Structure 1
Amino acid sequence: MPALLVPAMAAAQAQAPAQPGGDLARVGAHLRGLAAMTADFTQTDRTGKTLTGTLSLKQPGKIRFQYAPGVPLLVVSDGRALSFVDYQVRQVSRWPIGGSPLGVLLDPRKDLSRVARIVPSGQSDVVNVLVRDPKHPEYGAITLAFTQRGDAPGGLLLQGWVALDAQNNRTTVRLANQRLNPPLSDTLFRFTDPRRDRQR
């Protein structure tokens, strides 16, 4: 599985002492209340290689990482499966949505108390949540980083994440220019299969 789908902004949350589960409940409220989002992203892998592009998210289960022109890659979920498309070598790899740490973003009904915990950040305006399914260590782990934003669901805004796959490969994704709940067509979460389209 591509490393993007599995790593860390150093663990994080440091708010004044909150009630147990308080910030985790806010993260859950954010994920359930976020119908759609777009953002610019910067992705850095364990070797320091950086790629940029545009993220589009629509609930339930749809996401698209559209890389900048010249990068022949696409990561997209149509609500059923997550696909990694490499147009250069004309390959498509697919996984169930739940088989990736990104599943926490794609399934807002997930019970976070079973797979997630708040981790300290040392910053009063940052909430970090580590998600790891103890029953499925092969899925890797992801640390989501949020900042406070009063007009966003749960009072939080997703700033990015660090994913760690089962081989300990780390990928950091940082978001900018987030736009909450824009209208997004379902056609955005489809793709041209390079195994059929030899012209791509």
Structure 2
Amino acid sequence: MNMRTSGAAARIGSLTLGTCLLAACLVGATAVAAAETVPLPVPSPKKRVAQATPPARAPLSAPAFTGTPTTGSIVPVAAPAQGRGLDGSQKVLADKVSGYLSGVHALTGNFIQVGPDGGRTEGQFYIQKPGKVRFEYNPPSPIDVVADGNSVVVRDRKLATQDLYPLSQTPLRYLLVDKIDLTKDTNVVSVSADDVFVTIVIEEKQALTGTHKLMMMFGAKDMQLKQWTVTDPQGYDTTVAVYNLDPTAKPDPGLFRINYERVLQ
């Protein structure tokens, strides 16, 4: 397997956070019912028309899931309007989310990823803090995404290639740090809540890669992570919805290994 290094971290941002950006085959009524409660925004047709096709090597452009694993209660969710500052109630919500993220040390579950073209891919994910995550995409997608605490690698099993990115340049890091205070450690531009979800939008500007936005949604009652949407500098949205979450599982450390010795000749 070859490995490439690249400064184009915007592509991984489009993924994941964009990572991340994601669910296993929905077998049985329980799994289907769980997935049906996950809100999946409909990608913007305007963005798809106005922009060129996203880079083919990014996981968001992996072969789309061709079935329809969920029906009924999936609804579009619009990002809340940005604000210059947070009021008292918004800070309280941000602190609650920070507490939840800081309290999660390991997490496994299923994901559904919706790319800018509306295609869906599915799989399983594994998180072990600090800094480690693995997204395994179900066939026909050949993609795995692995972070080992320092780097993120996007593996293409079919082409036997690897693209390497610094973890510090991807939105994944917000989910993978041991402790986080969103109001101090990030640029929170919006916090909103209703009876179902607490939604936080983070904006990040980088000289080389441009401006990314990360919208995270948590359950209003349990504060558990439900989904995130990464908007890349070109305006493409990639949404990852998670379910069947298990914070007690202990992932195998081998899931997060990256082979740095296999370098492209």
Alignment TM-score, normalising by the size of structure 1: 0.81
Of 165, 174, 179, 2:232 maps to 165
Of 203, 207, 213, 1:141 maps to 213
Confirm whether residue 115 of structure 1 aligns to residue 187 of structure 2: yes
Alignment match, 1:58: 128
Of 169, 172, 175, 1:105 maps to 175
SS at structure 1 position matched to 2:224:
strand
Q: Give runs of aligned pairs for residues 1-200 of structure 1, distance below 5 A.
A: 1-2=11-12, 3-5=14-16, 7=18, 9-11=77-79, 19-113=89-183, 114-120=186-192, 123-134=194-205, 138=210, 140-150=212-222, 156-190=223-257
Alpha carbons 1:80, 1:97 under 8 Å: kept: yes
Structure 1 residues without counterparts, runs of 5 or longer: 151-155
Alignment match, 2:23: none
Alpha carbons 1:102, 1:142 under 8 Å: kept: no
SS at structure 2 position matched to 1:75:
strand
| CA deviation string 1:56-82 (max 9, x = no partner) | 111101111111133211111011111
Alpha carbons 1:6, 1:165 under 8 Å: kept: no
Alignment match, 1:153: none
* Separation in structure 2 between the aligned mates of residue 85 and residue 120 of structure 1, nearest angstrom: 36
Alpha carbons 2:211, 2:233 under 8 Å: kept: yes
Alpha carbons 2:17, 2:228 under 8 Å: kept: no
Alpha carbons 1:76, 1:189 under 8 Å: kept: yes
* Separation in structure 2 between the aligned mates of residue 129 and residue 32 of structure 1, nearest angstrom: 16
Which amino acid in 1 is paired with 2:232?
D
What is the aligned length?
187
* Separation in structure 1 between the aligned mates of residue 211 and residue 136 of structure 2, nearest angstrom: 23
Mean alpha-carbon deviation: is it higher for 94-103 or for 37-46?
94-103
Which amino acid in 2 is paired with 1:78?
D
Give, in angstroms, the shift of residue 163 of structure 1: 0.8
CA RMSD of aligned residues (A): 2.7
* Separation in structure 2 between the aligned mates of residue 141 and residue 59 of structure 1, nearest angstrom: 23
Alignment TM-score, normalising by the size of structure 2: 0.63
Which amino acid in 2 is paired with 1:131?
I
Change (3 A) 1:24 1:96: same
Give, in angstroms, the shift of residue 6 of structure 1: 5.7
* Separation in structure 1 between the aligned mates of residue 210 and residue 16 of structure 2, nearest angstrom: 12
Mean alpha-carbon deviation: is it higher for 35-44 or for 85-94?
85-94
Change (3 A) 1:22 1:86: same
Percent of aligned pairs sharing the same letter: 25
Structure 2 residues without counterparts, runs of 5 or longer: 1-10, 19-40, 42-76, 82-86
Which amino acid in 1 is paired with 2:143?
L
Give, in angstroms, the shift of residue 126 of structure 1: 0.8
* Separation in structure 2 between the aligned mates of residue 174 and residue 112 of structure 1, nearest angstrom: 21
* Separation in structure 1 between the aligned mates of residue 175 and residue 17 of structure 2, nearest angstrom: 12
